[in-house]
Structure 1
Amino acid sequence: MILENARIDDIELYEVKIPLKIPFQISGGVSYFRKSLIIVLHSGEYVGYGEAAPFEEPYYSSETISSVKMLYLELLFKRILGEEINSIEHINDILSKGVRGNNFAKAGMENAYWDLLCDINKISLKELITYKLKQLEVNEEYINNEDYIESGVSVGIPIDNSIDTLKQWVKEYIEEGYKRIKIKIKPGWDINALKAVREVIGDFPLWTDSNSSFNFEKHKDMFKAMDEYNCLFHEQPLNHDDILDHAKLARYIKTPICLDESLKSSIIGAQALEIEASRIWNVKIQRIGGLLEGLKIYKLATNNNVKLWGGTMPESGIGAIPIMNLSSFKGFCYPADVEASERWYGKNQDIVEINMNKQGQIYLPKCNGIQEIINWNNFKNFTTRIYSSK
């Protein structure tokens, strides 16, 4: 029998700052460090780790590290400290009561509770996910899973805005074993970048990611021109809270549309299906408010022939563990954005090291809780404790 209840005796909060190997630029801004927050929940001798990983500025979502920190310290920590939590559903209800949005904040705490339950029950996260998928009555076929995921690389916009730099990066990533290429685009860095990459990689799997930077009326014909480059799909080309214009674009061009920023819940997913906006979805645990919502989206998708893949912000290795495990289930069709730690930070610089083999496979860590696989030297070097309830 799997226990889902725990009394929260203590909470710790850490700020993380890991230098990036190469600055990562998307349409909204540039990151030079992976800054995030690590939440640690204690229940007696047991402990659970979670990560909230918004950016410092609100260019991906409305949340920032500062806003999440404030919500934790002024509201959410007080709600669960000293309380007996009855289930994963219960902690989600507690975090959501009277709180609209703030999904990154919710995800960090909710994921820490999943990890706490893994420690209490001495089971892997994949075993716990399997248990909850069965509770949700997901089709048995889609409870099948692998011990690994396939990894694809997300290629940012070079700081020097050089097509030659982009082409060199792409060559190197393919040689390292990544199973597909995704390039970031924005107005002014779009079709020429796509054309150059396609010339380098031939018919290798490729898609674009706009991070909501284009406008339907202004740019629809450019996306139609992109049809000739045979992308698997275009990820979130239009506004971050839009599904209507995405439905229009889906009817206007041949290349399929994938939802990212606008897919904040299973409710939005159901609406997207109704208006035929997209049947390819990127599941980001941070964006949707936690792993339980990810399971609900998984059930909706597998019931409706929607193709899924796992996305990251990216987080540190701690934050990547939930989507790594969920992405190992059969309903995930495309290589995930989970990448080797070395790609982001350099070798042995992550708090939890993620390794990829030459076949582009990342095997799930064998552990009954994240604390078993943390690099404690890196944890000490890259984190600062800013709160403890004791």
Structure 2
Amino acid sequence: MSKGFKFDRLVARRVQIPLKSPFRISVGEVTMKDFVVLEAQCGPWVGWGEAAVDGVPFYTTETSETALSIGRTVLAPLMRSRAWSDPEEWVEAMEGIRGHSFAKAAFESVLWDVLGQSRGSSVAHLLADDPSESQPWVQVGPSIGIKGTPESLVETIAQELAKGYRRIKIKVCPGQDVEYIEAARAAYPDVEMMVDANSAYQPHDIEHLASWDRFGLMMIEQPLDHDDLWFHRELCRRMKTPICLDESIQTPHLTRCALEMKAADIVNIKVGRVGGLVDSKRVHDLCRKAGTPVWIGSRLGSGIAEAGRLAAASLPGATYPSDVGAGLAYLTDDIVDDWFEVRDGCEVKVPDGPGLGIRVNRDKLEKYSVETYEW
């Protein structure tokens, strides 16, 4: 299609899938995954996207309602207004629209999916500068929510290790941190272990956090506020344990600021948080040039978003294990058939079919949809 991709039809669905058990992090708890799925018809191709948000704004300022609203009023009319040559052109058009990164990522995703299908190429290969450098398999590890007792955390870690995982991430918050990490380390002194605070601590906690050097953690993820690069820099200077930024990495520009300030030893790229795969690649490239390792984070959601994250995780600079591929460990069901291939218990195959390489189960999509809009 030399003139670009002109979409004939867009459908946005608000989807709700129950969790197997409550998932708790420092800022809240969810029992139901509430997100938005975007379907886009373009001639013979159907592209898929997902706004991996929640029903309430506890991780990001966006919610399912805001994603549907900005989609209905701004993004869908713009996408239907013209033909698009590639996802980069879409991202350029988004520069004048502030925020709403997860919603933008869903719309960008359908372009990647359709582009890949039209070329008979996977999104992972389209994303790479050199497809031969793409990693065909990605090591992954679980993210364990805050438990009621240190003993229940140790029990959960045992269950995850029995599945074949080698890297363990545990959520922490003030009052439920040291005792839990101590118990986990005592039980598993040699396991690759990291902790994630989801911005739960403040600058006055730096000495408390610095004492965690004794645990031999592979990293501490986002200990301080999402907009606090300055004190993350101070923490990096203070600690031997690598500090990983997650919520703070919202744009390529903020990534550059963090790298220049030396406010991060490691960077977690969340595809939805930075607005899609185009900016995920830009963040990856900035970090690779700076010699800062990255990994690809995940959020609870369906295989649609996971497919895009696996494409990002195939990039050569993504050297740490990812959170990707664990959706089925938490959700009671999924809307994508044939979940991603797993080997050795902890490696997930990057989809190599055209586009995202997924097949959406329309019966399940309709079953879990609670709102539908069409343009």
TM-score range, shorter chain: over 0.9
Q: CA–CA distance in 2 between the matches of 1:190 and 1:285?
A: 28
| 1:373 counterpart = 2:362 | no
Q: CA–CA distance in 2 between the matches of 1:267 and 1:370?
A: 27
> Is the CA contact 2:27–2:58 (under 8 Å) kept in the aligned structure 1?
yes
Look up the equivalent residue of 1:265 and give its one-letter code.
Answer: T
SS in 1 for 2:295: strand
How far apart are residue 168 of structure 1 and its match? 0.7
SS in 2 for 1:380: helix
How far apart are residue 350 of structure 1 and its match? 4.6
How far apart are residue 289 of structure 1 and its match? 0.5
- Partner residue of 1:145? 134
SS in 2 for 1:83: coil
- Partner residue of 2:229? 243
Q: Alignment partner for residue 121 of structure 1, among 116, 119, 122?
A: 119
> Is the CA contact 1:12–1:385 (under 8 Å) kept in the aligned structure 2?
no
> Is the CA contact 1:302–1:331 (under 8 Å) kept in the aligned structure 2?
yes
Q: CA–CA distance in 2 between the matches of 1:260 and 1:340?
A: 18
Look up the equivalent residue of 1:129 and give its one-letter code.
Answer: L
> Is the CA contact 2:86–2:115 (under 8 Å) kept in the aligned structure 1?
no
- Partner residue of 1:137? none
> Is the CA contact 2:307–2:358 (under 8 Å) kept in the aligned structure 1?
no
How far apart are residue 371 of structure 1 and its match? 7.1
- Partner residue of 1:203? 190
SS in 1 for 2:272: helix
Q: CA–CA distance in 1 between the matches of 2:139 and 2:3?
A: 30
Look up the equivalent residue of 1:31 and give its one-letter code.
Answer: V
Q: CA–CA distance in 2 between the matches of 1:104 and 1:146?
A: 25
Q: Percent identity?
A: 28
> Is the CA contact 2:13–2:371 (under 8 Å) kept in the aligned structure 1?
yes
Q: CA–CA distance in 2 between the matches of 1:3 and 1:214?
A: 52
> Is the CA contact 1:314–1:338 (under 8 Å) kept in the aligned structure 2?
no
Look up the equivalent residue of 2:139 and give its one-letter code.
Answer: E
Q: Alignment partner for residue 199 of structure 2, among 199, 202, 212?
A: 212
| 1:256 counterpart = 2:242 | yes
SS in 2 for 1:14: strand
Deviations 1:180-233 (A, max 9, x none): 01110111111111111111222110111000010011x112112111000011
- Partner residue of 1:155? 144
Q: How does 1:1-390 map to 2 (within 5 A)?
A: 5-97=4-96, 99-130=97-128, 133=129, 144-158=133-147, 161-217=148-204, 219-346=205-332, 349-352=334-337, 353-370=339-356, 372-384=358-370, 386-389=372-375
Q: CA–CA distance in 1 between the matches of 2:371 and 2:139?
A: 34
> Is the CA contact 2:301–2:327 (under 8 Å) kept in the aligned structure 1?
no
Q: CA–CA distance in 1 between the matches of 2:263 and 2:137?
A: 30
Q: CA–CA distance in 1 between the matches of 2:119 and 2:57?
A: 37
> Is the CA contact 1:125–1:368 (under 8 Å) kept in the aligned structure 2?
yes
Q: CA–CA distance in 2 between the matches of 1:71 and 1:279?
A: 35
Normalized against structure 2, the TM-score is what? 0.95
Unaligned runs of 5+ in 1: 135-139
Change (3 A) 1:204 1:50: same
Deviations 1:246-285 (A, max 9, x none): 0011111221110000101111111111111113000100
> Is the CA contact 1:155–1:182 (under 8 Å) kept in the aligned structure 2?
yes
Look up the equivalent residue of 1:207 and give its one-letter code.
Answer: M
Alignment size in residue pairs: 374
Q: CA–CA distance in 2 between the matches of 1:387 and 1:354?
A: 29
> Is the CA contact 1:7–1:84 (under 8 Å) kept in the aligned structure 2?
yes
Q: CA–CA distance in 2 between the matches of 1:7 and 1:145?
A: 29
Look up the equivalent residue of 2:225 and give its one-letter code.
Answer: N
> Is the CA contact 2:149–2:180 (under 8 Å) kept in the aligned structure 1?
no
Q: CA–CA distance in 1 between the matches of 2:317 and 2:11?
A: 35
Unaligned runs of 5+ in 2: none
Q: CA–CA distance in 2 between the matches of 1:3 and 1:111?
A: 20
Normalized against structure 1, the TM-score is what? 0.91
Q: CA–CA distance in 2 between the matches of 1:152 and 1:204?
A: 12
